[in-house]
Amino acid sequence: VDLATALAELWADREARRFSVFVFVSMLAYSMQDMILEPFAGLIFAYTPGQSTQLAGVQHIGVLLGMILVGVGGSVFVGGARHLRRWTVAGCLGSAASLVALANAASWGVSWPLAANVALLGFFNGMFAVAAIGAMMTLAGAAGPQREGLRMGVWGAAQAIAFGTGGLTGALGVDLLRGVGD
């Protein structure tokens, strides 16, 4: 089967198509958040570049803890796709709530527990990441043999394009909004 036919088959599969869009949108948001967090900490909380970099480290510790909870806790390997979906949704909702809290932090200023908020964001990002990867592995083999590589490749391409687009969009957004605010 040629690549165009294989891609058409993948896109015709409703679940694979929805997952492709989900991967793209979630990775777009994730990479935008990386580009926005450090300037946000500097502009709103007067963090130095070194302090904002340390804040990114706090986020990554949260990510690791969220990954450990979902992965090592056996949750990814027990319970099947339904269980993975619950962890994925919990990670998405927790990340969204953490981002809303960060947006609220701007009005509170330095009295806001920024590091704890960022750690929580990372924690939910980690939960989401491991559960989404587990779901991806489950879904990759759903079309039968000989299609796993194509599915993983399409999802990897969606992730890569989203990361590049999100990084550029996040950085441009910070610069544009900063220019409007000055």
Which string of DSSP letters, residue by residue, matches 102-163?
HHHHHHHGGGS-HHHHHHHHHHHHHHHHHHHHHHHHHHHGGG-TT-HHHHHHHHHHHHHHHH
pLDDT score for 78: 54
Nearest to 19 by CA among 112, 111, 115, 84: 84
Rounded to 10°, the helix 148-181/3-12 angle is 70
Query: What is the C-alpha to C-alpha distance for residues 170 and 129, in angstroms, rounded to an integer?
Result: 20
pLDDT along the chain (182 residues), means of 10: 80 88 89 87 91 93 93 60 80 94 89 95 93 83 77 87 92 86 68
The DSSP output letter for 59 is H
Global confidence as pTM? 0.82
Please count the residues of the chain.
182
Single-letter amino acid code for the residue at 94: G
CA distances from 135 to 24, 73, 96 (A): 15, 16, 20
Q: How much is the pLDDT for 101? A: 95
